[in-house]
Structure 1
Amino acid sequence: MQDIFSIFQYSFFTNALIAGLLTSILAGIAGTYIVSRKIVFISGGITHASFGGIGLAYFLGLNPFLGAAVFAILSAVGIEWTTNKANIREDSAIAILWSLGMAIGIIFVFLTPGYAPNLMSFLFGNILTVSTTDILYMLVLCIIVCICIVVFYRPILYTAFDAEYAKTTHLNTTLIKYITAIFVALTIVFSIRIAGIILVLSLFTIPQATASIFTHDFKKMIFLSIGIGFIGISTGLIGSYYFNLPSGAIIIFTLILIWALIKAGEKIRNLINADNP
């Protein structure tokens, strides 16, 4: 127990833990929204499309996360636009932008002069490299997202569950979708630090899948997802530190383990209740 508390003396670990909490809040809100809208794979599409920005930023000598943020926002808005205006199915739009972003990223990484950049932290995540500046940016985004979800809770709720009904109440559902898509894109970019491009989709789906075992209420689902996400991230972070394993992979494995245990508990409870009517 003393060894566990001793790791909190390291600034990189406390930074990682704070980043984990902020990511849990952001992913809990954004993930619940995309799960409710049944557009889970939009986060995968945005994530992989952002790789194009990472490759371009490396080629131009800029901050890779700045490039990722620009491409993520463009892809999120592009998915909404092509779905609404270009008469293209949402899954097709996601696949097109997903592939385009990855192709652009690979091309510019290949064209970057000198040694090829190490992309492991972008592909698989490394929460232990989070800086104080990263945390400040995440905190600002977290505050903005929390304020928006509180102030515009009902419009977002109506748009997520039944956009057609929301239109009958004179809500500008198109504008709401564009704004929420931008926030989801930014949340995904910051979450790449935690789980990487390959695994980040899990942060937006596994806590929500676990929360849905207990409730389908939108608000309760957000809070449960945040709690489950932080438990998974903090436990996985400690495990990755002690076993010297990749933090992103261990965090996702921990979240899946939590889901599996709770799901198994639900099955056992249902069997017991069935035997004792």
Structure 2
Amino acid sequence: MLEFFELFQYKFFTNALLAGLLTSILAGIIGTYIVSRRIVFISGGITHASFGGIGIAYFLGLNPFLGAAVFAVFSALGIEWSAQKAKVREDSAIAILWSLGMAIGIIFVFMTPGYTPNLMGFLFGNILTVTTTDIIVTAIFALIIIAANILFFRPILYTAFDENYASTTGLNVKLIKYSMAVAVALAIVLSIRIAGIILVLSLFTIPQAASMLITKDYKKIIFWSILFGFIGIIAGLSASYFMDIPSGATIIFALISIWIMIRAVIFIKDKLNLK
């Protein structure tokens, strides 16, 4: 235990904890919308499509996360547009953009002059590489998301659960969906440092799955998701450091362990007929 607290003297560890807290807040809010609207598969498509932006950014000598953000936003808007306007089945549009993004990313990465960059950090994440700049950018975006969800809570809630009802109330559902698509895309890209492209969507779904075992209230799901997400990140980060294993995978394993424990407690409680 003492050895754990000694880690706080290292800047990389405090940066990782701050990034974990901010990511938990983002994932808690955005993930609850994703799960409630049942667009986990769409978010997965956005996540993998963002790799195309990483590849192009590498090729052009730009910041790969900037490339990922641009590509993810356009992919999110493209999926929403194709489903509403182009009459393309949503699952088909997702599969096309998912495959296209990954293919473009791989092609441009290997076309980049000089050495081949190490893609492990992008694919599987490394929370210990988070910089102060990353924290500032994530903090600003988290504040925007918090403010937007406070100001527009009911429109977001209605759209997440029942688009048809939301339309009958006079809400601009299209604007809300497009805006939330952009928010989802940016939140996912900002979280790639934590778990990587392969695993990042788990941060936006597993805490919510655990929370929904406890409550069905939208606000409470957000609260519990943030709490479980941060606990999972701390546990995974600690295990990763002391066991010298990949942080992204360890964090996801910790989150799944939380879900299993809650599920087990509920199962035992039901079997014993406890109140």
TM-score over 0.5 for the alignment? yes
TM-score, normalization: structure 1? 0.98
Name the residue aligned to 1:9. 9
* Counterpart check, 1:37 vs 2:26: no
Match of 1:267 in 2: 267
1:88 and 1:16 map into 2 onto residues whose CA distance is: 41
- State the distance in 2 between where 1:227 and 1:90 align: 32
The runs of at least 4 aligned residues of structure 1 exceeding 4 Å deviation read none
Aligned to 1:58: 58
Say whether 1:97 aligns with 2:100: no
Residue 89 of structure 1: how far off its partner (Å): 2.0
The percent identity for this pair of structures is 69
**1:218 partner amino acid:** Y
Aligned counterparts of 1:174 and 1:148: Cα–Cα separation in 2: 16
Where does residue 25 of structure 1 map in the other structure? 25
- Coordinate RMSD, CA, aligned: 1.0
Deviation per CA, 1:138-181: give whole Å up to 9, x if none. Answer: 00000000000000000000000000010001100000000011
Distance 2:211 2:103 in 1: 35
> What amino acid is the match of 1:161?
F
The aligned counterpart of 1:202 is 202
Match of 2:165 in 1: 165
| Cα separation, 1, equivalents of 2:142 and 2:157 | 19
Where does 1:55-204 land on structure 2 (aligned, <5 Å)?
55-204=55-204
**Aligned residue-pair number:** 275
Counterparts of residues 248-267 of structure 1 (less than 5 Å): 248-267=248-267
- SS for the counterpart of 1:115 is coil
SS at match of 1:113: coil
Shift of 1:116: 0.8
- Aligned-partner Cα distance in 2 for 1:28–1:43: 15
CA deviations on 1:53-104 (whole Å, 9 max, x unpaired) are: 0000000010000000000000010110001101122222111111110011
CA distance in 1, matches of 2:110, 2:54: 12
> What is the deviation of 1:122?
0.1
104-113 or 48-57: bigger deviation: 104-113
Amino acid at match of 2:164: E
User: TM-score, normalised to structure 2's length?
Assistant: 0.99
Letter in 2 for 1:232: G
Structure 2 residue matching 1:117: 3-state secondary structure: coil
Code of the residue aligned with 1:188 in structure 2: it is I
1:2 deviates by 1.2
Cα distance in 1 between the residues matched to 2:170 and 2:157: 14
Secondary structure, counterpart of 1:29 in structure 2 = helix
2:253 matched to 1:240?
no
In structure 1, the residue matched to 2:216 is: 216
